[in-house]
Structures are given as C-alpha cells and as structure tokens.
C-alpha cells in the first residue's frame, strides 16, 4: 500500500464506485476514504445513473460486467446528460474490457483490471484528479473573466503554461520540446500558405500538445527502462487527457484537435482514434511531423540525437504511412533549402 498519498490533493473530491459485488464496494470504501476521498458506493447500475443525475461526482469507478446492464450502457446513459464526469472502467480481466472503439466513443478516460492490490488503481485515480483539478481551475477562470476576452485569453494561457511547465519540470526531455514543436509547426504552416488564424492555432496546439502528460504517473513518465505494454498504454492516453483538460476553455476549442490527434498516423495505425489519411485534422498532421522531427533530433536517455541525413531519410521513408505525403514534401524542402530557419528555432531553446 502506498504511504505518500497527498491527502490535501484528494480532499473534497467525490468518487462514486459502481459494482454489483458488495465486497468490492466495501474494500474500495475503506481504501478511498483512507486516501481522503468522499466515497459513495452503489451496487445497482440503474440506481447509479439516477444518482449521477441528482448529485455531483468528480470521478466514477465503474465495473464493466454487471447486471442488469453492463458498464458501457451505464456510460452511454450518463453521457446523454453529463459529458464531464471522469470515468475509469474496472474489469475482471483486460480481455473482458469493451472494444477500444466503444471506450473512445463514450469518452471513458481509462480502465484498470481488478486486483486485491490497489496501487495501480490509485495511480489512475490520482492522475484523473489532477486533470479534474485543472479543468475546475479553467472553469473558475472562465466564470470570473467571461466579459473580458483579452484578460480571459491571457489567464487561460498562463494557467495552461503553468501546467505545461509542471510537465517539463518532471521530464527533462520535454524542456523546450513543446516550444520547438510550436515553432516548427508554424514554419511549416507558413510554407503551406496557411491563414493567420491557422498559424495561431498551430502555435497554441504545438505549445500544449503534450499537456496531457500531467495525467501520466511519474513512475511511467520518468522510467528509463523499456515500458511494459500496460505502461505504454498509459502514455498513449496523454492526447485524450490533454484534450479533456483544454475542453472547458473556449479559446482552445479549435486547437484541441491538434492536441488530441497529433499521434495519429496517415496509414491509420496511430492513436488514440486510428484515423486514416485526410480524416486526421489537417493541422494535427502538421504538428505530427513537427513533433516527430524534434523527437528524432533531440537527445534521449536511450540514444543521442539522430544526424540530419538520417532524419530526412526517415521522413522520406514514412511519407504516406506515418506522414501526410504533401506535408512531408514541404517539410523536406524546408530541411533541404531553408535549414537556416530550422537552426534559428533550435538555437532559441
């Protein structure tokens, strides 16, 4: 059992647990109350739906296999009237989890296998509470400054900047990474003759494309060894978490697709939604190649930065598979004929 729980961070957050096994309810009640959360346990999923209509809850832990209806149907009903509830699905075995398409469609933030040890579940809850806290802060700012658009934008940017700096303070690799991705994206956008509005969206989307890593446990984000399959799945949640964090700020509405889909691949093998080709938002396709370029040209714990010739070969090789071929051609032209502009960006950070 973890001992370093920040009770102040958990205080006041309401968690509802829905499971038709009373033993699970009782065990989680003891565990979550000890961790400082307000707890409500429900064994009937239909009753849980009505309770969520009547009361505010910050996070739901929901069993998948239940009677009289399964967890995915519970979420489907709840999403009709509540889009904001943070939901973590509990499964007896990961093979029994609903299809990935269902999890995405219903905006389920994550799922965890049941276990007599709750350490992994607590990490997911703590990550969820971090995201919820930031959404609450954004909402408060939105309410306080709704009549002053300039101040609102400044306040939002400062708030999310603080969150971004929190991520960068944890992970040395990300320091300067988001700034460079932002600038590279804008540079590509200029060579694509995009509008000033689109260039502004590329700037914002690039700056905050990794903000969802605040919801990834430090034990995974800072791990030097190879990640397990489950740990990599946690990392792959960061675009969705980032989009969720920004979703309450109207000024970020048009930039959210960049944050959510910058890890999609042109061939449909990316994440979180496996979008294919032109179904991937255009600006996200630009940010994707900028993000990959900076990753390849940055020093990592497990390798040095790659030589420019190797990077260009990788981009050429992955045209039409990982990258939009037209955007890749424009970026290769920049690397071949306007590399001084790339160097200017690299020297800034």
Specify whether 213 is catalytic.
Answer: yes
In 266-338, alpha helices (H) = 282-296, 308-317, 325-337
> How many other CB atoms are found less than 10 A from the CB of residue 177?
21
Residues with Cβ within 8 Å of residue 183, at least 6 apart in sequence: 206, 345, 348
Instruction: Please state, in angstroms and rounded to a whole number, the distance separating the CA atoms of residues 219 and 168.
Output: 15
- Rounded CA-CA distance 15/24 in Å is 14
Q: Where are the alpha helices (DSSP H) in 55-176?
A: 71-78, 100-105, 119-144, 149-170
CA 129 → CA 9, 19, 59, 69, 126, distances in Å? 8, 21, 8, 27, 5
What is the rounded CA–CA span in Å between residue 148 and residue 171?
35
> Catalytic pick from 139, 151, 154, 213?
213
> Are 281 and 257 in contact, with CB atoms under 8 Å apart?
yes
Q: Please give the positions annotated as active site.
A: 213
């Amino acid at each position: 059992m973890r001992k370093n729980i920040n009770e102040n961070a958990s205080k006041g957050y309401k968690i509802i647990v829905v499971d038709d096994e009373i033993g699970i309810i009782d065990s989680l009640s003891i565990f979550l109350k000890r961790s400082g959360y307000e707890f409500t346990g429900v064994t009937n999923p239909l009753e849980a739906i009505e309770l969520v209509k009547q009361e505010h809850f910050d996070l739901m832990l929901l069993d998948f296999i239940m009677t009289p209806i399964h967890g995915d149907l519970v979420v489907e009903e709840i999403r009709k009237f509540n889009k904001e509830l943070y939901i973590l699905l509990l499964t007896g075995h990961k093979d029994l989890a609903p299809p990935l398409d269902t999890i995405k469609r219903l905006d389920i933030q994550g799922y965890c296998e049941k276990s007599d040890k709750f350490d992994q579940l607590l990490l997911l809850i703590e990550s969820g509470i971090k995201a919820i806290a930031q959404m609450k802060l954004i909402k408060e700012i939105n309410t306080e400054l709704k009549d002053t658009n300039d101040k609102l934008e400044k306040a939002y940017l400062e708030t999310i900047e603080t969150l971004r700096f929190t991520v960068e303070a944890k992970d040395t690799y990300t320091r300067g990474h988001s700034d460079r991705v932002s600038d590279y994206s804008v540079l590509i956008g200029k060579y694509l003759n995009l509008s000033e509005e689109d260039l502004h969206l590329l700037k914002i989307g690039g700056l905050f494309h990794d903000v969802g890593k605040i919801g990834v446990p430090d034990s995974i984000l800072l791990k030097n060894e190879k990640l397990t399959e489950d740990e990599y799945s946690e990392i792959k949640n960061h675009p969705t978490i980032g989009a969720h964090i920004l979703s309450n700020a109207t000024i970020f509405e048009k930039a959210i697709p960049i944050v959510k889909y910058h890890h999609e691949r042109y061939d449909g093998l990316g994440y979180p939604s496996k979008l294919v080709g032109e179904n991937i938002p255009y600006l996200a396709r630009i940010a994707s190649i900028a993000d990959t370029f900076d990753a390849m040209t940055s020093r990592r714990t497990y390798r040095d930065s790659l030589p420019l010739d190797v990077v260009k070969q990788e981009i050429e090789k992955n045209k039409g598979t990982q990258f939009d071929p037209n955007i890749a051609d424009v970026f290769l032209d920049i690397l071949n004929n306007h590399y001084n502009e790339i160097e200017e960006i690299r020297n800034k950070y």
